[in-house]
Every structure is written in structure tokens, then in C-alpha cells.
Structure 1
Amino acid sequence: VVIVCSLLSADSGITTTTVLFVAVLPSLGAGGKKLFKIEAPGPEPKGVRPHIRETARFLWLIYVSLTLIQIIAYKFAGLPWFDASCHALSTLATGGFSTQNGNIGGYDSRLVSIITIVFMVIASMNFGLIYAATRGRLRIIWEDSEFRCYLFLLAIGSVVIVCSLLSADSGITTTTGTIQPATIPNVLTQGVFTAVSIQTNTGFTTANYNTWPFVAKAVIVMMMLIGGCAGSTAGGIKIIRVWLAFRIMLSELERAFRPNVVRPLKVGKSNIDPELKLATIAYVLGVLVLFSIGAGTLMVLESGNPKCNIATAATASIATICTVGPGFANVGAIENYGWFSDASKLFLCLLMAIGRLEVFAVLVLITPRFWRST
């Protein structure tokens, strides 16, 4: 019962999004559009402008269909119906819950890992692109700048992690405690699975990456912060915001030595207005400040606990705000959060709630000015 309730809670991201689209946003008028913009920042893909109610209903159908397909795929790979259902629900919600103590690594199956990778990638896509794909507009997906950046980051992260593991030439410790030889198939499976799981903020694990080289760990932390695509159940800052922030930085650097040049900032074919620039920078800085506050607060709350070192507090803060789950050190892939004090657990719950619901969206909803007619 506890497992099922946890999985249904993880799926609340999908449910909340659908209810928000169907029941709340249409009644808010202009305010609803502003809230939608916060939840799905950045330019919309050309041709993806469906009605909110139609999108929400179709979104539910898409997620139910994908869940059923993944359940059948897991069953084909040898998982029991219960395990297949639980992991499918957890994957599409990017929740990372598992019925196994060793998480996905507990099955010791390369096929199960590959199936999970495929559906984690889908779950972290912008739902608008999934909607477009089901309508036959496949070209829109590749034309989307965020999606291309998403695939690029997944590829680069996977390559760096795999190369660092190959260069280390040491065995890979799985989440069940066994040590796999560092053969190319094993390294590819473990490296790519971890990269996809962290980038999508799903948090499934198959290996103890606490023992991996520093380069691999650094990439994992960066992928935690960046997260998945906007308009998905993934956490993190979101790829479109990071991409916009990077483009804004380059634009400002150009203005510093070529002040007379006026070059509009574009993502794809869409111009980025000053309001969106400011909102993007504010959000990125806000998440970094929240991460710092989270890490500092944990250090204070656990000041007498030797298990809460800097690495543990920092990655616990990132992992909860970005809704990944596992971090490093004493909250790593084979560790848990059970040793934290009650006060720290409540604080971590708050960080998870803020990260899951998008902090700016929550703040906007409780702002009286948002509810005034515009």
C-alpha cells in the first residue's frame, strides 16, 4: 500500500498539470497565460498552439498509453506485472521510486535498463512536442531548439562519463554491491543510464557513482542542476532557461566590446523579449541562492552529525530542489536520507515541494496582484 501511494504521489506532477490546464487556467484569463508561461518558459514550437482543454485531455491519453506500453515492455523483459506497473508509473512521472532495494540495478538486466532509458528520455521531453508528434508533425520536434540541446547534453554527458569510467579502468560497483568488470558493454550501459537518469531528474540508479572519477561526478552534478525540458515532469532549472541564460551572457559580452551593435536575441526563429530575459536570469539565480540556503541550513541543523559533511549537504540540497533523489557522499546512490534529524527531513520535504511545483509558480499563485483583473 505504501509503495502504491508513493507512486501515485509521484504521478501527481502529471495530474496537477492536467487539472491546472483543464480547471484552473481557462478561468484565469490573462493570469492563466502568465502562469502557463512560468510553467513552460521560452518560445513555443511553431505549430504547437492547441487549446488548453484539448491539450490536457490528449496529454492524459498520451501518458496512459506510454505507461501501458512501458508496462508491456517491462513484462517482456521478465519483470512481474506489479514491478512493471510500479516502475512504469515512476518513470513517466520522473519519480525514481523502485520496488527493489537495489533500484533498477536490482534486476541486473541490461534490457530493463535500456527500456528505462528510452522512457526516461520521453518523460523529460516538452509535452507540447509529444502532442505534436502524435499529430504527425514530427518535423516540429527536430526544429525545436530546446529538444536539440536536450539530446546534445544527454550525448555529451554520456560520452564524458563513459570515457572517464574507461580511463579509470576499475570495476563498477552496482547498487546491489556486486562489482562488474569495466568492459565496454558494462561501462556503456552504466554510464548512459546514469547520465539519462540524472539529466531527466528521474533518479533511478544501477551503480554506486560515489566511487566514480571526479570528472564523472562533476558532470553528474551539472546535469542535476540543468534538468529536463520545460513543460515536462522533470525538475531542475530546465534546459531552455540554461540555454537562454547562456545566450544572454554571450549577448552581453558582445555588447561590452561592441556597444554600437544591436543584435536581437533569438532562440530558433523566436525573438526573446527583455521581460523573458530578466525572468530567466532571476530564476537561475533564484535556484542557485535556494541551493546555497538549503546546503547551509542542513549544515546548521546537522551540526553535531559527522555524516553531514559539505558534500552531503550540498548534493542533498541540489538533489531535493531538482527532484533527483540521490546525491553524493552519505546521500549517494546506495545511501538514503533516513539518518537525518526530523527537522532536516521536514526542511528537505519543503525543498522537494518547491522544486516539484516550480518555485516561481507557487509564489505567483499566492501573490494578490496575480488574481486582480488585467
Structure 2
Amino acid sequence: MNLRIVARQLSVVAWLIGLTMLFSISAAWPEIGGQSEFEDHGFWALLASMVVCGITGLMLRMASGESNSTLYRKEAMAVVGLSWVLATVLGGLPFYFAEVIYTSVDGREIPMGIADCLFESQSGFSTTGATVLTDIENHKWVPRSILFWRSSTHFLGGLGIIVLFVAILGQGSAGKALMRAEMPGPSKEGSQERMQHAAWNFAAIYCVLNLILTIILYLEGMTWFQAICHAFGTMATGGFSTLNASLGGFNSKTIEYTVIVFMILAGTNFTLIYLLTLGKFKKLVTDPEWRTYVGILAVATALVIIVGIFESHDFDPQDKLTAVPEFELAFRDGLFQVVSIMTTTGYCTADFDLWNNFSRGLLVVLMFIGGCAGSTGGGMKVIRIILFTKILGREVEHSYHPSVVRHIRLAGEPVTDQNIPHNILVYVGLIGAIIVTSWLALTWIELDQTWIEAGHPTHNKLIDSGTAVCATLHNIGPGLGIVGATRNYAPFSDSAKLLFTLLMMLGRLELFAVLVLVMPSFWRD
């Protein structure tokens, strides 16, 4: 392991994070952020964080010496994993320096501790959108400049620090390893030029869609501050909002339908979006992953509406707040939450904890599926679900036709690379092992008192803990019960928050880039 070249690349990551904090500082001024007075505590917190980022980057660069060695696969994986550890620590500094208040107990305002800051930072970079903040509309507790930084971590996480790294710096042959960790899912290998070109295309499309959505949301009634933050949260499939009630706080069906469209785009493979810009519309409708993705969204929405919402809600035919027929409200709530959960965005417009068990269970299933490979969505990815079902079907056939040799086919083409089925099975097995282990660990380290103080029955602890693990591992945010649509992760202990932080990182980097960091053999020459 060439630690010098790893330190050199990490120095650039530290400087990039510090540089992006500069944009959040602008939100401390009234004409930018929209608040009544200059927010000095947010300003100085971000400035101090920038200084720490600069010093950290300088120290890493000095430790690297004049190393110009080639970045091989092992070093690339180390850069990926350590970059997200470094980003989590540096990204949490503004919350810590600003002494952000995350909750109050018996009238006492409780500032964010180290575990809270790491949790909130990783939640942003991993585009999970889970939060420990209980009142983000109270800007004495949470300055707007810090809120803007919080949403900016979504933008950076969605773009992918390492994708940006590859696109700008052109990291040689290791670009493939970096891109595979940042844009996961089964894919064919490509040349260095193709991988760097793909990174540029990804970055350009992502930034343009953010810009378009920002303008549309502003025209639909949001302030520029709100529009930018929610565009970052949507296109990154993150879910951080500027309102306590999330997007539901705007009470606008126009905004909700707009965000639905862009969430679906964010969960689509960006390669397909690029082909659409070239006029190759047929590529979209013939892509098996995208057809399955849209099909699951349609079927799940129909099931939630027919089986779920109408059974668990007593809709007013003419709702006084929205003045819409019962079916339209049911359709909008059902469609929004299905798209939000499956794309792992996590925005909420309805309290789905009030839905019946079938609908809530269906949402949990969608947490596992996630978006398409090559998108900003989390989860296991649709393409893996497709291949996994085909692998199971082939194994069932082998039980009664053991001599038959049959390739798995995708879009009519055989999958001849036998590493792909093996990798799919290993990945699914690892996901299952991590969920079970984390679930049991959480039920052990988190006391029943957490549920009692939060006003939830302790017999829901198993379900709530399970969905909290799934929601953080698959980068979704809200779960059920104590972490439901109207709740957050504030009640949990520091130990649980650190566990969630690790799970969010594992989910964002598709397991291996983080797991290798704890293997001694990985660090040997």
C-alpha cells in the first residue's frame, strides 16, 4: 500500500470540502439567506471549518512528499473509503463550531455532540437525509448558513466526491476503480478515457438538472434559498428540507408533482438521461432495468392507493386545505411516498405511519430495491434485483435439470461473465448479514427507555429498530415508528448514532470500499 499517494489524494478532498463551504457562508447575509440579520455564529463556524479543512489538506500534502506514483486499484479503494471518513469528520465541523441546538429537554437547549455532528454530516454526504435536528425552522437553533451547508453535503454526495475527483483530475487507470465505487452496479469495464468522459457527463447532467429544478421551484413559490436546498435534496435523492414538515409544509400539489418527476429522474441511470439528450429515446424504453424500475413504481403506487390508503384514511371528499377530490389526494400522497422511498429520497408529504400494515410493509420492501445503477439513488439497485431473481430461477431449474447449462440473459443478451452472478450473491448475502447483525446490536445497545421517552410502545422496538437499520443502510432516512415520517433520530444514544453513521457509509459505498479498511492484509505492501 502506497500511503504517500493516498495522503496526496486525500489532501485534495479536504481542500475541495473546505472550498465548498465558501458558498454556504454567503447564506449568512440577509440578502442571500433571507433572514432579518447577519448570522455571525454560522459565519464564524463555517470560516473556522474552512481553516481546519485547509490545514488538514496541507498536512496530508506534506505527509505525501513529492509522490507521483501510479494510483493502483488498492490505493484507489483506500482513497474512496478514507475520503468518506474524512468528509464525514470535516463536514461535521460547522455543526459543532456553530453549537447547533438539536433538541431540548425540560426546557434546556441541548447542543449537538460529536456523534450528532458525525451522524448529520454522513447523512448528508451519503444522501440519506436522516436527521437528529428537531426544529430546523428555529434559526437561533440552526443558522440558515448551516442549513445551506447541510443541503450542500447532499449536492456533493450526489455528485460523488470521487466522481468529481476523476472528472477534474483524471486519476489514471484507477479511474475505473473510483467510478465503480461511486457509481455502483454491474457494468462493463471501460477505458480510462471512457470512464473520465462518463464522469464529466454525469457531473454535467447532474448540475443542469439541479439548476432546472431550482428555477422551477422558485417559479412555483419557493424562495431562492428554499429552491436551491430542495433541488439539492431531490436530485441527490437525499431529502434534507428547510421545513420541519418537509415538502408537505409547502402544501402545494404543483411542487409535489414537480419533485416527483425529478425524483424519478434522479433514480434513473444517468447514462440513459445522457442518451436522451442525444435523441436516443428508444434506449430508454428498451432498457430492462428502467422498464422494471417504472413498473415497480406504478404497481406499488396502485397497491398503496387501492389496498392501503383508502383502508386507513378517512379522506374528506373536498379537503379544506387542498380543495381536491378524495382520489386525487390519495393518488398524490401514494405516488409521492412510493417514489420518495424507492428512489431513497425520503421526502414526506403524508404520515405513512398512519397507513395500514400492508402499505407500510410495501414501503419497507421498496427500501431494499432502491433506484437504478448509475443513479444517485441508494438501495440494492433494480438491476441487482433483476439479476438476483434470474439467478434464483436458474438454480431452481438446476434442481430438476442438473445437466442443463443456461446463461442468464439480460435484454436478450447472455451474461457470460460468471463473476457477475457470484458478485450478486455475495452482495445480497452481505446485505442480509449486516442487517441482521446491526438489528440485533441496536436492540441490545438501545434501552427501552428511548421508546418510553419518545412516547412509543416498547413492543414496537423490534420493528422500529429493523426499519431504522434498513433506512440508514439503504440511504433512505425515515423508517417506521420512532423514526417515522414525522420523527427523527434524535432520541437515540450516541452509540446507536455512530452505528447508523457506519451503516450510511456502507450503503453509500456499496460495502466493499468500507469493509476493506478494517482488513489488515489490505494495508500490507
Alignment match, 1:347? 499
Is 1:319 the counterpart of 2:464 in the alignment?
Answer: no
Distance, in Å, in 2 between the alignment partners of 1:66 and 1:260 is: 50
Alignment match, 1:41? 185
Distance, in Å, in 2 between the alignment partners of 1:213 and 1:340 is: 26
Aligned with residue 227 of structure 1, among 370, 379, 387: 370
Residue type of the alignment partner of 1:131: Y
Aligned with residue 163 of structure 2, among 18, 31, 49: 18
Residue type of the alignment partner of 1:337: Y
Residue type of the alignment partner of 1:18: V
Distance, in Å, in 1 between the alignment partners of 2:406 and 2:262 is: 39
Q: How does 1:62-211 map to 2 (within 5 A)?
A: 62-168=205-311, 170-171=313-314, 183-211=326-354
Tell me the C-alpha RMSD between the 2 structures.
Answer: 2.8
Q: Which moved more, 1:244-253 or 1:158-167?
A: 158-167
Task: For residue 51 of structure 1, give the secondary structure of its aligned residue in structure 2.
Answer: helix
Distance, in Å, in 1 between the alignment partners of 2:327 and 2:260 is: 18
- Residue 42 of structure 1: how far off its partner (Å): 2.4
What whole-Å deviation, never above 9, does each CA across 1:51-74 have from its counterpart, x for those lacking one? 222222232221121111111211
Q: Once superposed, which parts of structure 1, at least 4 consecutive aligned residues long, lie more than 6 Å away? A: 178-182, 365-373
Structure 1 spans left out of the alignment, 5+ residues: none
Conserved 8 A contact 2:260-2:340: yes
Distance, in Å, in 1 between the alignment partners of 2:384 and 2:481 is: 29
Distance, in Å, in 1 between the alignment partners of 2:344 and 2:268 is: 12
Aligned with residue 424 of structure 2, among 280, 284, 308: 280
What whole-Å deviation, never above 9, does each CA across 1:313-365 have from its counterpart, x for those lacking one? 10100000011000001110001111111111111111112112221233457
Is 1:213 the counterpart of 2:356 in the alignment?
Answer: yes
What whole-Å deviation, never above 9, does each CA across 1:139-162 have from its counterpart, x for those lacking one? 222222111111111111111111
Task: For residue 204 of structure 1, give the secondary structure of its aligned residue in structure 2.
Answer: coil
Conserved 8 A contact 1:96-1:202: yes
Conserved 8 A contact 1:71-1:88: yes
Residue type of the alignment partner of 1:362: V
Alignment match, 2:204? 61
- Residue 171 of structure 1: how far off its partner (Å): 2.9
Question: Quick check: which has more Rg, 1 or 2?
Answer: 2
Residue type of the alignment partner of 2:167: V
Alignment match, 2:130? none
Is 1:7 the counterpart of 2:151 in the alignment?
Answer: yes
Q: 1:25 to 1:223 in 2, by over 3 A?
A: farther
- Residue 251 of structure 1: how far off its partner (Å): 0.5
Distance, in Å, in 2 between the alignment partners of 1:364 and 1:273 is: 24
Alignment match, 2:392? 249
- Residue 96 of structure 1: how far off its partner (Å): 0.2
Q: 1:50 to 1:117 in 2, by over 3 A?
A: farther
Distance, in Å, in 1 between the alignment partners of 2:394 and 2:388 is: 10
Q: Which moved more, 1:283-292 or 1:314-323?
A: 283-292
Alignment match, 1:294? 438
Report the TM-score when normalising by structure 2: 0.65
Percent of aligned pairs with the same amino acid: 33
Conserved 8 A contact 1:312-1:327: yes
Alignment match, 2:125? none
Task: For residue 464 of structure 2, give the secondary structure of its aligned residue in structure 1.
Answer: helix
Conserved 8 A contact 2:179-2:195: no
Distance, in Å, in 2 between the alignment partners of 1:272 and 1:342 is: 47
Q: 1:134 to 1:366 in 2, by over 3 A?
A: farther
Distance, in Å, in 1 between the alignment partners of 2:188 and 2:221 is: 40
Residue type of the alignment partner of 1:310: L
Distance, in Å, in 1 between the alignment partners of 2:264 and 2:420 is: 27
Conserved 8 A contact 1:161-1:216: yes
Distance, in Å, in 1 between the alignment partners of 2:341 and 2:353 is: 14
Task: For residue 160 of structure 2, give the secondary structure of its aligned residue in structure 1.
Answer: helix
Structure 2 spans left out of the alignment, 5+ residues: 1-144, 452-457
Distance, in Å, in 2 between the alignment partners of 1:25 and 1:155 is: 40
Report the TM-score when normalising by structure 1: 0.89
Residue type of the alignment partner of 1:144: D
Instruction: Tell me how many residue pairs correspond in the alignment.
Output: 366
